[in-house]
Chain A
Amino acid sequence: MTRVAPTRDVARGLLAVTLGLVGQLSGLGLLATSAWLITTSSLRPPILTLSVAIAAVRLLALLRGLGRYGERLAGHDLALRLLARLRVWAYRRLETVVPGGLGAGTTGDVLSRVVGDVDGAQDLVVRAGVPLMTGIATAAAAVALSGLLLADTWPVLGAGLLLAGVAVPLLARRAGRHAAEALAAERGRLAGTMVETIDGAADVVAFGATRQALAALDRGEARLAGALRRSAAVAGAATGLATLVSGTTTAAVVALGVEALGRGAGGGHVSAVAVAVLGFVSLAAFDAVGALPDVFSRLDAAVSSARRVQGLGALVPPVADPPAPRPLPPADPALALERVSVSYAPEGPAALESVDLSLAPGEAVAIVGPSGAGKTTLALLLLRFVECASGRLSLGGVDVRELSADEVRSRIAWAPQDPHVFATTVAANLRLARPAATDAELVAVLEALGLGAWLAGLPKGLSSELGERGLSVSGGERQRIGLARALLADRPVMVLDEPTAHLDEHAEALVRDAVRSYAEGRTLVWITHRLAGLEEFDQVVVLDGGRVVEHGPAPLLARRAGPYAELLASTPSRLAVPSRA
């Protein structure tokens, strides 16, 4: 992250630290000057000799708040500037690896954690870096000042500040690490218990197990309570210790002054005023390092966020373009897999193994199989989001590795299993697949997919905002928005991943018919775990454990005592069990 920080940002960082220092040193100066003013006054000097100090006290009082205010704004400005660059950098990295390169189970969850880390890294500046530097610089200034006032005192004050501001918090973190981990683990476990119990509330109530569930909660709470107590005991001991160190250090500094003053009765190089000022400098210095324990714990979190973000740099894009891509073969969208194997990690298990499949232009193919069979991997492979570990995938007879992946994708419309709905209007969500689509076309596609009534119910029709801050979208609606994109995209190949998983039978049949008629003349790959209506497809491919275990027209497969017939038998069917006769 430092490598993306140009000189101007270094200057901004210095500005924030300087402003912070102005605030902190003003606080220190205010107390020291006030102490000097009051103790000197007790010696009853002419009032004119005090006028500079009086003016200084008033000025420092104003600078105290203003410096801090300026530091906060400058720090946030810098942090957000760095954030903008970091986000673009992280996005560029993610753009080459999502969804194929983050492992098999790249869910929205993984991505939102990455985003959280990117945003958390800005704490490195505002909440850790700047306060750390100003705190340390202020403490150093106080130590220097004490050295000027009485040379003997600076090692004592310095040691006390190091102990209270750095050593005790770091020691406490070490001592409390075990307790903190236990606390996090117990909280996680209890959160899991809550999710599970609420998930199973109907069954828990039906079986009269409410008491059991509450007893399980009590056990979890008891463990959590112990962990919290242990963790708080360490934190409390650290606070107490730091307090004790700061109090005794001030006492020691003052005692040294008293002792020097006693000696000075003969030599006379330290005054009572200086000793009083020393005492107040010590007080103010401990105020400045008081924030450091919090800063250290934030630094920890921010550094580990930043590390994880840096890890994005090490991710290898699963699919690389050739140095000189060949032009796309004109108008021949035939896809062929020859003995293709795919795995997500170099030594990991194969998600697809030695798969042969040919998709002639205009053919409709259904891919079925139990979950984990490799159906989604097949879709990601066709879209060039994952690479063949061995074997060959060709488009129009040309090995896809000789083509630009973007251009291959431009031939394929895709509806993922759980399509993302962006926080924008319905129209913008659809037009990302075809920017030139007219409103009428958008409405027509939505109606064809059975979303006509849904659209009519939206407050602003196509201009209604969806997603996070707009209207919530159900699973079935989300899926059909994904489908609508694929239909609008107008591409020769369509790859639809579980397009009807959230729909009931009636809606499923409607969607299937709409897609079938839309796909007329296009290659259609329909991935599903539902077996209804597959008779209409040219061929059905049964995947299991990453292998093609059977393929052929559905009616033929149903009559054969093979994997497809087994799937039919084990599939929950709603109305009629397909005849096995």
Chain B
Amino acid sequence: MSVAYGAGGAGAAGGDSAEGASAGRRPRTRRAPVDPRLWRRVVPVRLWLAWSVAVGLGLTGCLVAQALFLADLLARLFRQPVVGLHGVLVDLVGLVAATLVRSLLLSLGATAGAGAANRVRGQLRRDALGAVLGRGPVWLAGQRSGELAVTLGRGLDALDAYVADYLPRLVLAGLAPLVLLGVIGALDWVSLLVLVAALGVVPVFMVLVGKLTEERVARRWSALGALGAHFLDTVQGLPVLRAYGRARRQEAQIAAVTDDLRRTTLAVLREAFLSALVLETLAAVGTALVAVPLALRLIDGHMTLAPALTVLILTPEVFLPLRRASADFHSATEGLSALDRVFEVLGDDDSTLPVAGGAALPVAGGAALSGAEGAAPSRPRADRVHEDGGGAPGSLRGPLVVSGLCVQYPDRERRALDGVDLLVAPGERVAVVGASGAGKSSLLGALLGLVPASAGSIALGGLVQGDADPEAWRSCFAYLPQRPWLSSASLRDNLRLGEEEAPDAAVEDARLAEVLSLADLAGLVARLPEGLDTPLDEGGARLSAGERQRVGLARAMRRTAATVVLLDEPTSHLDASSEERVVASLDRWLGGRILVVASHRPRLLELADRVVTLDGGRLVARTRPVTPRGRQSGEGAAGRSVRVQVAP
């Protein structure tokens, strides 16, 4: 039908040039058109496919109706006496009505496709982000995180076209030819035989073309990649080329390489376009092969006009969905490659990747625990070990016991931590020093459970980390990393990271103002145009490095339920006077909390009860006692006597 041709033509003509014009794209790889993992994991895909089958049947039905009405109308014109418009009114109305239904189905299909794409993309993105966060920072550090973020962002967006457009077209390509062949067969079995033979030739030709060209095409693709990237490479290096007086001679090089690119591309295309040539030629030849015998049998009187015209109208439609689905395939590949990466993250391929969190931490269970008790110099005499309700947030009080802790990053030869034993009494403040790379940040990460231990154990208040729910464990800690991450959200949201919705906004704002002033940021809210609601821009770009650090510190001090405070270089970006104010308020705020701080700043070392030194992942014997703090003795002061920890 006009319809049949019209609506379909776009796809058939559309996908030609992208196949090879721009170099650097990968050749198509063979894979199942509907990824089985998608089918298994994403339930909406199944519904969408079922819907696509229904709509595809409807569209094909309309097509058949249109062909029947038009053919009947035209056949009537050949009867005597000549009919007027009223004689073909039923056919005309039927033709327009079928067109109308078809156009409604197409509109509806587009909207439904967007809905399906939304559900599939939404679920995959959510699952993938959940998996990324679940796997934790160590796993993430082993990934190219920039590329991963792009895959989960823009990459998954490319899936929209795959779900909304490609899948229904694929369904139609499987469905419509069968239905149409059935109709044609009912009208004229000779035409059916001709078309079945023509369709049967398609795979034979495809295999033949594929076999003949595959190797050469694949070989040329890699050459194409290099040629295609040359221009970008040269332009990006232009500053260097100019500095060394080499820029001008690249002009000729660019012309030569692009000319090479043209020749290689055309060599590839001559073969890559062969498959399209085969499909298009077979579609056209199929029409010719059907039309000529029909004509001969009409002359013989073995055939009547109306079915002959119906067959002629429907014949191109048999081939159209195949042509379109094959032309569209390349546009689906981008979405499919994002899909591969997402399933990799989700572990649908590979379940051996480590998952951060209690369940998968390779802590040696009870053995490690008893080992911990054995290694500890003495069971802490502190009286504040509550073993009640180990999972409740912030309820774990008591000593922090680290024994035999080892951390091994997947891509490193040396262990980042190698048998660390450390006992921190309640209320005790420990400073960790050591060269960069000595393992300070790894120690803090392991205490939090962000970095999985490869051996040894960590216990807080008698509860072993591996036995605890990871979220509940981490809720006992207030943490300031070396470079605190700030999002582009508001200052309030940044400070309240990980907090549930506050019941009373005014009270909450007062608390935030308090922690901000503790972190020497009392003037910040007044300075920002929208106060606490001011977005901090990408990466907290609105703030200076020192302010970002102090917002991170305020965020840590916001966690009043924490019993252990972990600070990684908390004052590295602060000047002396700000550092003084921050350390003073930190001293007050800490109260009876355990502090483990990685820093070399003398002012922070003064805050500590003792200083331990990490070297190459080991706690070295050289542990410096420091002068006791000259502050009012508070909670847990009894356990704060200077202790020398000697590593074996």
| Chain B positions within 8 Å of A126 at CB level | 17, 21
Is there a chain B Cβ closer than 8 Å to A191's Cβ?
A: yes
Is there a chain A Cβ closer than 8 Å to B309's Cβ?
A: yes
Q: Closest residue to A77 on the B side, CB-wise?
A: B266
Q: B134, B288, B575 — which one has the most chain A CB atoms within 10 A of its CB?
A: B288
Q: How far is the CA of A38 from the CA of B137 in the complex (A)?
A: 72
Q: A88-B255, A246-B5 are in contact. List 7 more A-B contacts (CB 8 A).
A: A38-B298, A54-B295, A195-B149, A201-B137, A205-B137, A221-B122, A414-B240
- Cβ contact of B245, chosen from A213, A410, A570, cutoff 8 A: A410
Counting chain A residues whose Cβ lies within 8 A of the other chain, the interface size class is: 35 or more
Is there a chain A Cβ closer than 8 Å to B22's Cβ?
A: yes
Q: Which of B100-108, B521-529, B620-628 contacts A (4 or more CB under 8 A)?
A: B100-108
Given A73-B273, A76-B265 in contact, is the A286-B5 Cβ separation under 8 Å?
A: yes
- What is the CB-to-nearest-CB distance from A559 to chain B, in angstroms, rounded to a whole number? 16
| Interface hits, B216-262 → A, CB 8 Å | 225-226, 229-248, 250-251, 254-255, 258-259, 261-262
Is there a chain B Cβ closer than 8 Å to A538's Cβ?
A: no
Given A212-B497, A414-B243 in contact, is the A84-B77 Cβ separation under 8 Å?
A: no
Is there a chain A Cβ closer than 8 Å to B145's Cβ?
A: yes
27 contacts between A and B (CB under 8 A): A40-B295, A44-B298, A64-B284, A65-B278, A76-B20, A80-B261, A80-B262, A81-B262, A115-B235, A194-B129, A196-B538, A201-B145, A205-B137, A206-B450, A212-B497, A228-B160, A229-B111, A229-B114, A251-B92, A251-B99, A254-B70, A254-B74, A291-B9, A294-B10, A485-B240, A573-B572, A577-B602
Counting chain B residues whose Cβ lies within 8 A of the other chain, the interface size class is: 35 or more
Is there a chain A Cβ closer than 8 Å to B150's Cβ?
A: yes
- Cβ contact of A69, chosen from B21, B113, B276, B450, cutoff 8 A: B276
User: Are B485 and A205 interface neighbours, CB within 8 A?
Assistant: no
Q: Which 4 pairs show the lowest CB-CB distances between chains A and B?
A: A290-B9, A236-B110, A247-B99, A191-B153
Is there a chain B Cβ closer than 8 Å to A167's Cβ?
A: no
Q: How far is the CA of A65 from the CA of B152 in the complex (A)?
A: 40
User: Are B270 and A73 interface neighbours, CB within 8 A?
Assistant: yes
Q: Which of B414-422, B473-481, B511-519, B639-647 contacts A (4 or more CB under 8 A)?
A: B473-481
Convert B585-612 into 0s and 1s, putting 1 for each residue whose CB lies closer than 8 angstroms to a CB of A: 0000000000000001110000000000
User: Are A239 and B17 interface neighbours, CB within 8 A?
Assistant: no
Given A47-B296, A261-B82, A469-B225 in contact, is the A118-B231 Cβ separation under 8 Å?
A: yes
- Cβ contact of A409, chosen from B242, B436, B602, cutoff 8 A: B242
| Chain A positions within 8 Å of B560 at CB level | none
- What is the CB-to-nearest-CB distance from B265 to chain A, in angstroms, rounded to a whole number? 6
| Chain B positions within 8 Å of A112 at CB level | 232, 235-236
Given A94-B235, A251-B96 in contact, is the A37-B77 Cβ separation under 8 Å?
A: no
Q: A47, A66, A88, A419 — which one has the most chain B CB atoms within 10 A of its CB?
A: A88
Is there a chain A Cβ closer than 8 Å to B208's Cβ?
A: no
Q: How far is the CA of A50 from the CA of B539 in the complex (A)?
A: 77
- Cβ contact of A208, chosen from B104, B225, B270, B475, cutoff 8 A: B475
User: Are A577 and B601 interface neighbours, CB within 8 A?
Assistant: yes
User: Are B285 and A39 interface neighbours, CB within 8 A?
Assistant: no
Q: How far is the CA of A44 from the CA of B555 in the complex (A)?
A: 92
- What is the CB-to-nearest-CB distance from B6 to chain A, in angstroms, rounded to a whole number? 4
User: Are B6 and A289 interface neighbours, CB within 8 A?
Assistant: yes
User: Are A57 and B481 interface neighbours, CB within 8 A?
Assistant: no
Q: Count CB-based A-B contacts (< 8 Å).
A: 515
User: Are A235 and B110 interface neighbours, CB within 8 A?
Assistant: yes
| Chain A positions within 8 Å of B244 at CB level | 432-433, 485, 489
Is there a chain B Cβ closer than 8 Å to A166's Cβ?
A: no
User: Are B132 and A198 interface neighbours, CB within 8 A?
Assistant: yes
User: Are B232 and A115 interface neighbours, CB within 8 A?
Assistant: yes
Is there a chain B Cβ closer than 8 Å to A457's Cβ?
A: no
- What is the CB-to-nearest-CB distance from A122 to chain B, in angstroms, rounded to a whole number? 7
- Cβ contact of B14, chosen from A37, A47, A294, A574, cutoff 8 A: A294
Q: How far is the CA of A47 from the CA of B293 in the complex (A)?
A: 12
| Chain A positions within 8 Å of B96 at CB level | 247-248, 251
| Chain B positions within 8 Å of A300 at CB level | none
Q: How far is the CA of A287 from the CA of B576 in the complex (A)?
A: 76
| Chain A positions within 8 Å of B145 at CB level | 198-199, 201
Q: Which of B37-45, B83-91, B380-388 contacts A (4 or more CB under 8 A)?
A: B83-91
Is there a chain B Cβ closer than 8 Å to A395's Cβ?
A: no
- Cβ contact of B287, chosen from A30, A122, A250, cutoff 8 A: A30
User: Are B292 and A37 interface neighbours, CB within 8 A?
Assistant: yes
User: Are A206 and B132 interface neighbours, CB within 8 A?
Assistant: no
User: Are B107 and A239 interface neighbours, CB within 8 A?
Assistant: yes
Q: How far is the CA of A207 from the CA of B254 in the complex (A)?
A: 52
- What is the CB-to-nearest-CB distance from A401 to chain B, in angstroms, rounded to a whole number? 18
Is there a chain A Cβ closer than 8 Å to B484's Cβ?
A: yes
Convert B257-295 into 0s and 1s, putting 1 for each residue whose CB lies closer than 8 angstroms to a CB of A: 011011001100110011011101101110110011011
Convert A193-228 into 0s and 1s, putting 1 for each residue whose CB lies closer than 8 angstroms to a CB of B: 111111111111111111011101110010011001
| Interface hits, B382-411 → A, CB 8 Å | none
Is there a chain B Cβ closer than 8 Å to A60's Cβ?
A: yes
Q: Closest residue to B263 on the A side, CB-wise?
A: A80
User: Are A205 and B111 interface neighbours, CB within 8 A?
Assistant: no
Is there a chain A Cβ closer than 8 Å to B498's Cβ?
A: yes
| Chain A positions within 8 Å of B301 at CB level | 44
Q: How far is the CA of A119 from the CA of B228 in the complex (A)?
A: 10
User: Are A203 and B6 interface neighbours, CB within 8 A?
Assistant: no
User: Are A76 and B269 interface neighbours, CB within 8 A?
Assistant: yes
| Chain A positions within 8 Å of B61 at CB level | none
Q: Closest residue to B122 on the A side, CB-wise?
A: A221
Q: Closest residue to A233 on the B side, CB-wise?
A: B111
Is there a chain A Cβ closer than 8 Å to B313's Cβ?
A: yes
User: Are A286 and B6 interface neighbours, CB within 8 A?
Assistant: yes
User: Are B2 and A122 interface neighbours, CB within 8 A?
Assistant: no
User: Are A225 and B7 interface neighbours, CB within 8 A?
Assistant: no
| Chain B positions within 8 Å of A203 at CB level | 481, 484-485, 497
| Interface hits, A509-548 → B, CB 8 Å | none
User: Are A204 and B497 interface neighbours, CB within 8 A?
Assistant: yes
Given A80-B262, A210-B133, A251-B92 in contact, is the A194-B149 Cβ separation under 8 Å?
A: yes
| Chain B positions within 8 Å of A247 at CB level | 1-3, 66, 95-96, 98-100, 102-103
Is there a chain A Cβ closer than 8 Å to B326's Cβ?
A: no
Is there a chain B Cβ closer than 8 Å to A416's Cβ?
A: yes
| Chain B positions within 8 Å of A194 at CB level | 125, 129, 149, 152-153
Q: B10, B20, B229, B245 — which one has the most chain A CB atoms within 10 A of its CB?
A: B10
Is there a chain B Cβ closer than 8 Å to A399's Cβ?
A: no
Q: How far is the CA of A206 from the CA of B265 in the complex (A)?
A: 51
Q: Closest residue to A85 on the B side, CB-wise?
A: B255
| Chain A positions within 8 Å of B83 at CB level | 258, 262
- What is the CB-to-nearest-CB distance from A73 to chain B, in angstroms, rounded to a whole number? 6
Q: How far is the CA of A265 from the CA of B117 in the complex (A)?
A: 56
